[in-house]
Amino acid sequence: MNKYDPDRVLTVNVPFDIKRERIADLLTSALEGGSTYWCDYLEVDEWPQGAKYAAEAIASGWTAFSVRHDDEVTRVGSQVPVALKRLATEFPEQFELFLMEQDDAETGDIFFQLLCFGEIVYG
């Protein structure tokens, strides 16, 4: 028989519907300030119809892009959902700020590094 433990923590996976506009906002925070200390250049492969900015194109979830950092170029596929999941599981405080629309350049940088490298490389 299992004993009741009031301190036991349960993990519940709950799906979230996140609008592409919010993802674009998060990427804008990274590209306009949070990641500029390491990202020297970004080039989007294909621009979805209606996208004016790189953040909007990347937030579409299907376009690949390249980033230059430390004189090196990294190709990035469409990994937006994977990066969001990693943000939620590895940086839950930042994910909560994102959900509450209280995210900032730091949140954007963490998300962008997770998107580009799958981990935090800088900072």
* pTM of the predicted structure, to 2 decimals: 0.86
Cα angle: 17, vertex 22, 24; to 5 degrees: 125
Tens digit of pLDDT for each residue in 26-42?
999 999 999 999 999 99
User: How many Cα neighbours within 13 Å face the side chain of 91?
Assistant: 22
Distance CA 67, CA 86 (A): 20
CA 63, distance to chain mean position in Å, is: 15
Q: Which is higher by pLDDT, 1 or 97?
A: 97
Tens digit of pLDDT for each residue in 83-108?
999 999 999 999 999 999 999 999 99
Q: Are 111 and 36 within 8 A, CB to CB? A: no
**Of the candidates 64, 42, 52, which has an alpha carbon nearest to the alpha carbon of residue 21?**
52
